[in-house]
Structure 1
């Protein structure tokens, strides 16, 4: 039996269902730790009914009132941070520090967009016609469907909902089946902060049963999705014929370049943080490291020492650095990627397997892994592993390194470590990525920083900051002739 049952939010009410979906703790998957409603297709349609009705109210609600709701919600997230972080860690496996940081960042999003909601929503523009005053203004677009992943189960819903709701839209949120509790905590904070009924509705359940009701409702104006390329491309094609906006934040195969003049100790520390934070389960994680040949042995040793020192275990243990992967299936997929890389000629430098020992026996653990001798022909060079696995490859010149960074279908994030300002600027201009870092990690952007990648890493619409509002608004131009 599940230890905790959590109702979901629909039409301003907390509702259950005739059946429930179990939620598991990836540190021990023998018994479920919670259950959430497995909604029916009819319940999904009812959520859209509520969102449609609420849109007429919310779009006319003063932005100052929206800001007050957001400010109260942010305060509640901070007040409940310990409880919420516990839920994040329990269902996802993150360390306590990572889960607490995610909770604080979710509050940041609503505080930031509370301020943005007060900003201007249009501007005057010149008109060639005498006696005419012309302007343009932005408007909300309607009912938005947000489909969010399991790797950032609280932060990603906040990243999407805050700008969507600040602009005056209403939303249907479909959290990942593996990690629904975090999203329900977010919904609870918004509900308790005074968000009107129907502005946010959370759909939990079995995707195969409710996907048609979720995706084919004619009232959807936009879908924002974070997840795999396979699902993202399916959604893009499915929605295109209906002229529904699509925003995709998809995969990455992010590279860090270490030049011979870099501070090797600092670079190794940054690469370990970027590669193994959240057990490598983040789209911006560094998974390819390119090291200039004359320093490859020294850097590999610095990396080896740091990775070997990482403590693997339950995220709820204070001294643990790397938690489990989210599920048995995902763990097995990562281990299969490692085995395939070895079969293709890669060498295991550190890790490379599931850890042994009683404390790991019932969890979804993979030891932090470094693979050396990797070539561009290997699958592990090109395919997103999405786990605690990093590969090393040597290069001779910066041009060669840039070519290797761009040797990917993805274009999310890249980093370079160097003391040469000219080399840094050449790298920034040449790499085909949406985010570039110099002498720091490839993740951890603030809420006001535009976020998103190029090519197969996502759509043209950025998330975060003022750029996020482009996806959630439309522009209306107005000309008024007053004579003269």
Structure 2
């Protein structure tokens, strides 16, 4: 099977069959060139309800399987993704824009998540609780929630499918997947490989199309017992309101504003490397990506100069070209948003060390490119320090004391991730514990691994992906009281 052939028809996958819609298909564009790279079906409420019905019909038989039986399907799926890694990577780069090296890593990451949950599903242990009477026995048994609807974003089209689908399937849930309309082709390919892996009819379903219609169908359908969403806080709040009528369980990974804190005793070279690596990965379009770099005044100028030097060496271009490290942002609307934040900051006194504008000359004229940018002399009051930039802009702010920087970092309405660099063991623990976020990276700026719980607090959402916590998101605890 060739992935290119799979994606050519790009239909919905419902009840084990490829299904088309009557509406005109949705064009999928390459953000680097502006060219159409494919089409997907423009589904809505009707297709979503068909997929929910198929998933509901399949859920009892899938849940009745042993965890080892379900693991067999997941392992086959992961193996097929690895076998088609290069094709998936090229597809991902064409529709999302990231360099091929990053796309290859993402395809491998998707396989890793699926493989890990294939095994973690075998460790969904229950409990036996001591009773108060001799003739009583108390059991707690984990069971799958049922039909799970998964709504994935455009910034990581492969790993986000795996991070949601793998724990749901391992837990014994059947799924309906709705990928982002900007990057649906990778999801189509992954679901086609799941079909080749032999998942029973109705266990894995895919619907592409209108987000508002499909999302509303998920939230209003009584058979959908779990919705997992990654996206904006605005949409997350809408889903919370819509979940009330059916009391639908939610996992929400929403906006972020991750601080990166460099204390004066830090290994500066390591901090600079980590800062640039995280900030400019995926062209800055990463939910747990650094938004503001807080650097102690004793090392502020040295850090800023080194970051600027590293950023000056980044190669911007088309993701399929050799050596490219930075591709486009997702679309022109994103370019306009990023540029508005930068211009406003400069107007208010920020200094552009490098970059600072859209790339519009040849060969970038048809794409949505923004120059890798470093801003210093930024103040916490500026909008660029308060809003999630989601682009290739490093914003640097100086600080004097530990209490000062913690107050600034915790003032954000978001609480997804934070990073700190220090050699002080006391500071490692106290600052990590005082930061109001769901995840902290200490002397590292990498957090997403299958075995650890990924997620935030405050307006960054709730629920976790990864680790046994991610499996539990798709399970209910049933208490059984037995009288002998």
Query: Which of 334, 340, 343 is matched with 1:339 structurally?
Result: 343
SS at match of 2:38: strand
Q: How many correspondences in the alignment?
A: 477
SS at match of 2:64: coil
Contact 2:220/2:246 (8 A) holds in 1: no
Distance 1:288 1:195 in 2: 44
Distance 2:73 2:471 in 1: 18
Distance 1:360 1:396 in 2: 41
Contact 1:109/1:158 (8 A) holds in 2: yes
Query: Paired residue for 1:447?
Result: 450
Query: Paired residue for 1:456?
Result: 459
Distance 2:404 2:380 in 1: 13
Query: Paired residue for 2:291?
Result: 287
- 2:12 corresponds to 1:8: yes
SS at match of 2:60: helix
Contact 1:5/1:34 (8 A) holds in 2: no
TM-fit CA distance, 1:208: 4.2
Query: Paired residue for 1:33?
Result: 37
Distance 1:4 1:220 in 2: 30
Query: Which of 19, 23, 27 is matched with 1:22 structurally?
Result: 27
Distance 1:122 1:242 in 2: 27
Contact 1:264/1:302 (8 A) holds in 2: no
Q: CA RMSD in A?
A: 1.4
Structure 2 CA distance for partners of 1:211 and 1:260, relative to 1, 3 Å? closer
Query: Paired residue for 2:109?
Result: 105
Contact 1:67/1:114 (8 A) holds in 2: yes
Q: How do residues 216-295 of structure 1 correspond to structure 2 at under 5 angstroms?
A: 216-295=220-299
Contact 2:281/2:326 (8 A) holds in 1: yes
Query: Paired residue for 1:430?
Result: 434
Query: Which of 290, 294, 301 is matched with 1:297 structurally?
Result: 301
TM-fit CA distance, 1:315: 1.2
TM-fit CA distance, 1:160: 0.6
Contact 1:9/1:201 (8 A) holds in 2: yes
Structure 2 CA distance for partners of 1:139 and 1:211, relative to 1, 3 Å? closer
Residue deviations 1:163-182, cap 9 Å, x none? 11111111111100000011
Query: Which of 168, 172, 177 is matched with 2:172 structurally?
Result: 168
Query: Which of 158, 182, 187 is matched with 1:183 structurally?
Result: 187
- 2:380 corresponds to 1:372: no
TM-fit CA distance, 1:326: 1.1
Distance 2:140 2:218 in 1: 33
Tell me the TM-score normalised to structure 1 length. Answer: 0.96
SS at match of 1:59: helix
Distance 2:289 2:145 in 1: 33
Query: Paired residue for 1:308?
Result: 312
TM-fit CA distance, 1:4: 4.1
SS at match of 1:150: coil
Distance 1:362 1:252 in 2: 29
Query: Paired residue for 1:473?
Result: 475
Distance 2:12 2:214 in 1: 15
TM-fit CA distance, 1:343: 2.6
Query: Which of 29, 34, 47 is matched with 2:51 structurally?
Result: 47
